[in-house]
Structure 1
Amino acid sequence: MDLVLFDLDNTLIAGDSDFEWAQFLIGKGILDRDLYEAKNLEFYEQYKAGTLDIDLFLDFQLHPLSRFPRSQLDLWQREFLSRHILPLVGDKARSLVGGHLARGALCAIVTATNSFVTGPIIREFGIAHLIATIPAQEDGRFTGKVRGLPSFREGKIVRVEAWLEAMGLWWSSFERSWFYSDSLNDLPLLSRVSNPVAVDPDPTLRAHAAGAGWPVLSLLG
């Protein structure tokens, strides 16, 4: 059996769900455009440059969840999925995931984006397992804080290994392990698997992939 891991943003979807979620809330007037839009763009550019402070970003990204009851957030989440995310899901991405699932691989999406935003997205791909940053909750409401280790950079390896160990598995349990990603931020996990694949990669990852002889794949179009 193979282990197949997928990054989500700009890999399986042609955009960034974290960024799009904030833009969705701004567009609906839920978040103040003057206060949030420039900061959202700034954090996104830092992520692409590999300079993101994940703790500062999560304070920014998770705080809006704490302002509203879960029932209202769930309504917005369904609208967000329909209007902002499904148009970003292409046939090539669905086919790639479906092929691995059909061959019996254990598949998971491993993303730094929080599980509230990404949970409905992974179900669109038929993937049962999500390793994401977890928003903390108390009494059914989000607190605006993160629970546990964010699924980011080296944290993705820690979270994947904890998930595997919880099932009594390890890297050596699999004939091959795959990770598909677009981002330089995922170089630690890409370097950990036996079959790393750069998907529509950023310039830094593209250069690294060329030097390491990793395959480069496009899921766009």
Structure 2
Amino acid sequence: MTLALFDLDNTLLGGDSDHAWGEFLSRHGHVDAEAYRLANDRFYAQYKAGTLDIREFSEFVFAVLARNDRATLEAWREDFLAECIEPLLLPAAVELLERHRAQGHTLVIITATNRFVTERIAARYGVEHLIATEPEQDADGRYTGRLAGTACFQDGKITRLREWMTGNGESLDGAWFYSDSRNDLPLLEAVDNPVAVDPDPVLEDIARARGWPVVSLRG
């Protein structure tokens, strides 16, 4: 079955859920607000510049998960979804997903943002398959603060996707991939149908030079 792959942040969402989660934690006093916001902004700037150390960033984000019990985290996440994510949902993204669903394609959200933040967003969009950066959990299901396996970022997206395809009997034949980010060039180059969505300047230049479609889901 043909894969339709979608980046999440600034592609299906009108913003970045990873950065928004840090802003939410700071705003509500769940972390040291000033220090956390400064670090969160620094990592986000590195992401946009294509220079992010994903392991360092993951450990920064996962430290909050490790310090709190699951019930507390899930309560925060519900508030986060209502306050921060609902306004970022894009009607045009829903329509795009539906067009691929109607063609019988297998829909997959593939994102560098961790599963704890993104699994409920994927469910909100009605997408069953999610490939995300994985925070490690211990035998009791508590987060350890460490990264599990390969981060789903840059070349790591291809690694994680190939692992998923092997387990699900899928292939990249005829696959689509929608993304806004230069960080996703490895996967965009690996599919038959790459699409730049509201792209950053670097990706837009590359997409136009290569004749890839450039689309907007924001208006």
**With structure 1 as the length reference, what TM-score do the two structures score?**
0.97
1:97 aligned residue: 97
1:196 aligned residue: 194
- For 1:170-208, what per-residue CA distance to the aligned partner results, in whole angstroms no more than 9, with x for missing partners? 224xxx210000000000000000000000000000000
1:158 and 2:159 matched: yes
How far did 1:168 drift?
Answer: 2.3
d(CA) in 2 for partners of 1:94 and 1:169?
Answer: 23
How far did 1:56 drift?
Answer: 1.0
2:61 aligned residue: 61
2:179 aligned residue: 181
The residue correspondences of 1:1-221 to structure 2 (distance < 5 A) are 1-138=1-138, 139-172=140-173, 176-221=174-219
How far did 1:217 drift?
Answer: 0.6
- For 1:140-161, what per-residue CA distance to the aligned partner results, in whole angstroms no more than 9, with x for missing partners? 2111111110000001001111
Q: Percent identity?
A: 50
d(CA) in 2 for partners of 1:163 and 1:140?
Answer: 22
d(CA) in 2 for partners of 1:98 and 1:74?
Answer: 29
d(CA) in 1 for partners of 2:168 and 2:44?
Answer: 34
- For 1:40-84, what per-residue CA distance to the aligned partner results, in whole angstroms no more than 9, with x for missing partners? 101000000001111111111111001110011111111111110
Letter in 2 for 1:132: A
Letter in 1 for 2:160: R
- Any conservation in 1 of the 2:3–2:171 contact (CA below 8 Å)? no
d(CA) in 2 for partners of 1:94 and 1:167?
Answer: 24
d(CA) in 2 for partners of 1:169 and 1:9?
Answer: 24
Letter in 2 for 1:70: R
Q: Structure 1 segments of 4 or more deviating over 2 A?
A: 168-172
d(CA) in 2 for partners of 1:82 and 1:136?
Answer: 26
Letter in 2 for 1:158: T
Give the unaligned 5+ runs of structure 1.
none
